[in-house]
Chain A
Amino acid sequence: MQMPEPSAAVLARKAEIVAGLRRILPEGAVIDDPAETRAYECDALTAYRCPPLAAVLPSSTAEVAAVLKHCNAHGVPVVPRGAGTSLAGGALPTSDAVILGLAKMNRVLETDLENRFIRVETGRTNLSVSGAVEAEGFFYAPDPSSQLACAIGGNIAMNSGGAHCLKYGVTTNNLLGVTLVTMAGEVLEIGGAHLDAPGLDLLGVICGSEGQLGIVTEATLRILPKPEGARPVLIGFSSNEVAGACVSDIIKAGVLPVAIEFMDRPCIRATDAFSGAGYPDCEAMLIVEVEGSEAEIAEQLGLILQIARRHDPVELREARDADDAARIWLGRKSAFGAMGQLNDYICLDGTIPVSALPQVLKRIGELSKEFGLDVANVFHAGDGNMHPLILFDANKPGDLETCEAMGAEILKLCVEVGGCLTGEHGVGVEKRDLMNVQFDPADLEAQMRVKDVFDPAWLLNAAKVFPLAASDARRRVA
């Protein structure tokens, strides 16, 4: 993977640039000691690392604006960073870049239960947003598996999803407004506590723009009343095809579960061994969760089980109580941990039309043989968002490259069957060079024009999302 050459002019002026940052920010909020900048050399895509020029940790929107103005004036690239859990290398710096970390900005600014929103600083973690309104019976719906660590700012930049998004949508569907600081240091309020913004939907394009349009310092988020209860069922099948057909039939029947999670045999085996969840020995497994009162849960599960029985399940396990429910989820929730025990892995994130599921799983099996690397599949089946985990050995020379090559083949397959490269993790640097598979030059041009408007000098996280060759001219002019 290639990154642009750092700007020699910026590297040469490091001392001056850092001194300027120190004048703007309080003691301790500017880090340029190489021993300490190492902490910011990568995100959760750990295969790629590069210590930044410096890292800054502002405490307010005004400080963020001052930092950006300074960097803009000196032509210094800036890479925003939340909690650094991106799996796509979204927060990976270059050696001439300043990392702007939002970790210190984690306050709740306003909670309004009557109008059902919360306003927070974007360094706040996802889970602690729900935590702030939990006692009152509310929650913030998007729930990435990384929710204990990841920050709302990162969620907004990546438009993150979660297990429950089939019903509640992803970040963009739960975001009402942002305070955005542009690279020029201008502070803009976009959207707000009311439901829709006037004029063009700038909020819609800011969400998911991977930190390339501006730094989001505050966010107004929709909160929802907690459901009365929730309960999963586990359904085992003798083949991926049958499991896929069952998913489609459940959806066609008019029930909308909050989650439909799918695991294939390798994943079932690994997670069961790791967590002792007691999963059945079968080819494919679904966890289907529904919400509501006791009676409503019974009504929905009745329908779902009736449909499942038509597909000759090898196992049907209803949770009788909270313990049962937790056990059903246990293996699924530890899937990444389980894989990590087995080996190093990369986690793909392509989406496919649900109807293509059997075909795609079959082809992934063939690719696994061709490349000689094991794959386990776990994913959000209701929306077709796959997470094939390809196992490799980082200590074995060439294995990472083989793994990446195989990952690229799988993602191309996702696009070929009508899907996309990434369903929730974002493009970052990881899928940047595959963008040409999904998009024509005119499609990318239209997206890059948006960046031209928000960040004319292409200083903000500019080496991400677009193939370097496609963005080259723009980054150079800048």
Chain B
Amino acid sequence: MTLHPGTETELAHMIREAGGPLAVRGGGTRSPGASGEALSTAGLRGVTLYEPGALTIVARAGTPLSEIRDTLAAHGQHLPFEPPEMGGLLGGSGTSTIGGVVATNASGPRRIQAGACRDSLIGVRFVDGTGAVVKNGGRVMKNVTGYDLAKLMAGSHGTLGVLTEVSFKVLPAPAVEAGLVIEGLDDASAQKAMAAALGSPFEVTGAAHLPGDTPRTLLRIGGLADSVAYRSGRLKDLMAPFGPVTIVTDADAVADDWRRIRDVAPFAGRTGDVWRISVRPSDGPQVAGRSGGDVFYDWGGGLIWALVPEGTDLRAAIGDIRGHATLIRASADTRDRLGTFHPEPAGVATLTAGLRAKFDPRGILNAGVMA
């Protein structure tokens, strides 16, 4: 049996009355991970406010991500953080909901320039583990009134409360996008090339490196047409010392390249565990080397996607490098053994546990998901 609240009030009632653990799901693109009675947010659906002139959208948590994308696209706007669609990688059948995107702080390649989901998120409503309805932030983008619980909810994987409504600052989508591609770089040179591009004033919106038989280093820029032409020319000059640069102006080709990176498509359908490693970019090549698996880089090298044989303890392999590794796709056994999230230092873990105990004193919301 799955619980299907149709309103926030109903949801609050269900949580108050819950006799045991609840496994909260949005679109079900990810395996639930938590045991307990399923609770679906799909019934909390719809855009409740969209003001293109104020760069603001508000939607109920169960609204499909695709609906948000389409609504914004009709006005030439987009979610700046380029949320991925991981269904292909994770083998789920569902479609992402906006609440699920927030709960996982899911952010794509543009994160290096436009920030993560948590940076665009300007307000939330949620029901905590006691059944209390809480709002925080709102629909305006400059807001420091009280603590920023919206950020705390972003990436909390439903362990502090069940989101019912989320608001975002949106941005104009670039009128034109172009790609730059350098072929044949080894990981270390690619990292240097990406650092040089990101250190330039040309507002690179994507910097990724795909090793392989023919390694490809990809950069992306976007904006008004003349500006994109100018910047791609300047960037090409800047990149020349690293190797021959091809400028890609075909919009579909650029979109396709970056969609694949965003959705971790290179590892979809391949066996093995998938890890997501976040480090300072200059440590990227060394981390990738130690991982011993297939990798590719996003975020200028600061985000490494690694495909390793099932059960590999990647954290042990990468050792003492500052950063963290998250298990994105693995068997339940491996998750149990290694833990999905990087262990936190004791002091931080105490705070985390303290917050959980306050927001969900019975420990019923997505229990174990962030363990």
Contacts and interface: CB of A to CB of B under 8 A. Distances in A.
Interface of A: 112-117, 137-138, 158-159, 161, 165, 169-170, 172-173, 182, 186-190, 192-205, 207-209, 225-228, 247-249, 251-256, 292-293, 295-296, 299-300, 303, 351-355, 380, 383-385, 418-427, 431, 435, 438-440, 442-447, 449-454, 465
B140 interface: yes
B184 to A, nearest CB: 22
Residue with the greatest number of chain A CB neighbours at <10 A, chosen from B140, B198, B227: B140
A453 B355 contact: yes
Contact of B345 (A189, A201, A248, A253): A189
Interface in B120-153: 128, 132-136, 138-152
Contacts of A256: 171-172
Nearest to A160: B144
B16 interface: no
Interface of B: 51-56, 75-76, 105, 107, 111-112, 115-116, 118-119, 128, 132-136, 138-152, 154-156, 160, 171-173, 175, 195, 198-201, 223-224, 226-227, 230-231, 234, 278-282, 299, 302-303, 322-324, 326, 341-342, 344-345, 347-348, 351-352, 354-355, 358-359, 370
Contacts of B140: 351-353, 383-385, 418-420, 423
A295 B230 contact: yes
Nearest to A291: B201
Contact of A200 (B175, B280, B355): B355
A450 B160 CA distance: 12
Contacts of A384: 54, 140-142
B302 A198 contact: no
A418 B230 contact: no
A67 B346 CA distance: 22
A159 B230 contact: no
Contact of B144 (A197, A252, A424): A424
A203 B352 CA distance: 12
A446 B227 contact: no
Given A194-B279, A256-B172, A418-B138, A251 B55 contact: yes
A451 B355 CA distance: 10
B52 A252 contact: yes
Given A296-B227, A354-B53, A450-B355, A423 B143 contact: yes
Nearest to B321: A194
B148 A446 contact: no
A440 B125 CA distance: 12
A454 to B, nearest CB: 7
Contact of A438 (B128, B141, B145, B278): B145
B135 to A, nearest CB: 5
A204 B154 CA distance: 9
Given A195-B299, A200-B355, A447-B147, A188 B138 contact: no
Contacts of B344: 198-199
Contacts of A248: 53-54
Nearest to B150: A204
B195 A426 contact: no
B144 to A, nearest CB: 5
B54 A209 contact: no
17 contacts: A115-B281, A173-B115, A192-B323, A193-B280, A195-B112, A199-B342, A202-B351, A204-B152, A208-B144, A299-B224, A300-B224, A351-B143, A420-B143, A422-B145, A439-B146, A446-B134, A446-B136
B112 to A, nearest CB: 7
A247 B55 CA distance: 11
B152 A450 contact: yes
Contacts of A354: 51, 53-54
A193 B278 CA distance: 10
A355 B171 contact: no
B348 A453 contact: no
A195 B226 contact: no
Nearest to A441: B132
Contacts of A205: 147-149, 151-152
A256 B223 CA distance: 10
A161 B230 contact: no
A251 B54 contact: yes
A422 B227 contact: no
B221 to A, nearest CB: 11
Residue with the greatest number of chain A CB neighbours at <10 A, chosen from B135, B146, B345, B358: B146
B201 A228 contact: yes
Given A204-B148, A252-B75, 15 more contacts: A115-B302, A169-B115, A186-B347, A193-B280, A197-B324, A198-B341, A198-B344, A201-B105, A202-B348, A208-B148, A303-B224, A420-B145, A425-B144, A447-B147, A454-B351
Given A161-B142, A205-B149, A200 B352 contact: yes
Contact of A199 (B51, B128, B175, B352): B352
B145 A225 contact: no
B355 A443 contact: no
B152 A158 contact: no
A225 B199 contact: yes
A355 B51 contact: yes
Contacts of B347: 182, 186-188
Contacts of B282: 112, 114-115
B227 A201 contact: no
A254 B76 contact: yes
B237 to A, nearest CB: 13
A254 B175 contact: yes
Given A201-B152, A202-B348, A353-B56, A296 B142 contact: no
Given A194-B279, A385-B142, A199 B370 contact: yes
Given A198-B342, A199-B348, A202-B348, A351 B198 contact: no
Contact of A195 (B51, B141, B278): B278
Nearest to B194: A114
A384 B138 CA distance: 13
B229 to A, nearest CB: 9
A102 B76 CA distance: 46
A174 to B, nearest CB: 9
A198 B370 CA distance: 10
Contacts of A453: 351, 354-355, 358
A446 B199 contact: no
A249 B142 CA distance: 20
A411 to B, nearest CB: 10
B108 to A, nearest CB: 12
